[in-house]
Amino acid sequence: MKPAFSGSSGRLLEAAVAAIAAVDSGRVTLDDRLDAAGPGLRRSLSHLLLTFYRRRRFIDARIAELAARRPAPEVRRLLEAALTQIHFQSAIAPESAVNVAVETAAAAAGRRAAGFVNAVLRRAVRERPTAPEIPEQVLPPPVLRRWRRIFNSAELAQLTAAFLTEPEFTFRMEHQFMPGFDCDAIPSPGRYRFFRAAPEAVLNSEDFRLGRLYIQDPAASLAPSLDDLRGVRRALDLCAAPGGKSLMLSEALPGGAELVAADRSEARQRLTAANFRLRGLQHRTVTAAPEMLTGEFDYILADVPCSNTGVFRRRPDALWRFSDSGLAEIGKLQEHILAEAARLTAPGGRLIYSTCSIDPDENELRIASFLEGHPEFELTAQSRLLPGPGSDGAFAARLVKQPR
């Protein structure tokens, strides 16, 4: 889309349209797109896009209701972004949002497209119905069909409410410190301490500068809390980057234990190494795929790539990218990583498998399939956490390898 405005409102709208196109193409995630946004644009762009993907069913229904004809893809994306502003945002007046969208459409697609956009959005400003909050009118259709088979009505309502809710800004405090600013303690599914606070208070604090805290959701503590790590001498975080769970393991490991943080991404491993340096930790970072690793470890955490269906509060685009074929593809990778983790687990050692998914195919059924092919392992614990008001969703299983 050709630039239409030099002002911030025009740049925001153009950035939103480009981001929706990129994310919907499957080339990037919303996180990727926001990371590429300039510092002066990221906050407002993030709010607009997160709101859009949470409310996309409503926005799509509005376009079908208001548009006299099916809009071209570029015009449709422009309508999606502008309608999100009109219905769900207060940073720009609805009439101003219309004006910006019309001039953007004129610059990008001509006067006829601008007239069409103007007619649709002017009507939208006049007629502003309440957005529904029931699963059938909120969740993406493929997700709704699948979740109806998996979850009961109360769970489905909980997931829908979580999808529409902006998560709080939360962080984990290292065990030997207390926050030096106003914050509230919040529950977590594990032994680690989590708090909520205003982002500015956290990011401008001495605690943040010195690495005494880590910005994280409480659900991340489910897997590291599934084992007490007593007696562990060699530990491996198999998919470590950017190091958040490695830091939790470091707190729980006995003195003198070795921790190796491995990941296939060189760029993300630089973040892991930086997190270690900030806290004065000497743990080793390795950039390698699981099949490239050798040796034996008496504790392994395999926090595998997944569909992200447990973290949709922060990544609502994940539900719009979900498909059965994508689930099958990521399942093959999970199976491969789990098999490599089994190879690296010492006899008598513990293997923790975890995801940020709430889908049984990636969790309970993945573990059941693994055990059929690896009778040397025993499942000793597993836990699933559904997203709700206080945390994201997650799954973790503890597998113990028989001694020789």
- Provide the annotated active-site residues: 356
Q: What is the DSSP string of 18-78?
A: HHHHHHHTTSS-HHHHHHTS-HHHHHHHHHHHHHHHHSHHHHHHHHHHH-SSPPPHHHHHH
Strand partners, 398: 352, 381
Contacts of 119 (CB under 8 A, 6+ apart): 68
77 close to 55: Cβ distance less than 8 angstroms: no
Q: At 397, is the secondary structure helix, strand, or coil?
A: strand
d(Cα 143, Cα 160) in Å, to the nearest integer? 11
d(Cα 244, Cα 283) in Å, to the nearest integer? 13
Q: What is the DSSP string of 352-379?
A: EEEES---GGGTHHHHHHHHHH-TTEEE
The H-assigned helical ranges of 182-303 are: 199-203, 206-209, 244-252, 266-278
41 close to 15: Cβ distance less than 8 angstroms: yes
Which tokens in the block code for residue 35?
A: 């990371």
**Nearest residue to 318 (alpha-carbon basis) of 16, 24, 106:** 24
Q: Identity (one letter) of the amino acid at 400?
A: V
d(Cα 249, Cα 240) in Å, to the nearest integer? 11
Surface-to-core class of residue 28, CB atoms within 10 Å of its CB (0-12 exposed, 13-18 middle, 19+ buried): middle
The H-assigned helical ranges of 263-363 are: 266-278, 317-321, 324-344
Rounded alpha-carbon distances, angstroms, from residue 370 to 80, 139, 347, 367: 43, 31, 17, 5
* Helix (H) or strand (E) run with residue 96 in it: helix 94-109
